[in-house]
Amino acid sequence: MNNNPQNPEFIFASQADQCLQTMKIRAEQMHIQGVGLVAYYNSKTANWTSKMVVMGALKNETVNFLSVAYSKAGEMIDTFQNSGTTARVPLLGEFNFKGGVISKVQENYVLVVFSGASGEEDTIVAQQGLDFLLSTLT
């Protein structure tokens, strides 16, 4: 990673914890629990930097929220669209769940996921994180 303070990947890394904290506060306000994930995808190297935080619960009796979060992230990095919004048939390992949002930043991408509630609620929390990141990256 380029450690230039103007580099979006460097800015992302310095803001990831605050982004996740912003998401956690929003989830608490909504009385939901789950996991939050933020990632920066470098399209030139096809690598990403990510961070995940448990926001009240890693899983419940029937769902592993972390597994679902990474499924959403995997779908988004393949389609460059928000999770659960593409018309294509999901690939093995994808479940077409809503709750992940993605945005292009210069030639790269940032993605934010929440998993633990309904797809609509997950999307609200994820969008809160994406809005925070975009405010620091643009």
* Domain extent listing, the chain: 8-137
Residue of 8, 28, 23, 53 lying closest to 125 (CA atoms): 23
Average pLDDT, the chain: 94
Give the tokens for residue 47: 């690598």
Phi and psi at residue 67, to the nearest 5° = -60, -45
pLDDT 10s digits, 41-94? 999 999 999 999 999 999 999 999 999 999 999 999 999 999 999 888 989 999
Out of 3.30.450.150, 3.40.50.2020, 3.40.50.620, 3.40.50.2300, the CATH code matching 8-137 is 3.30.450.150
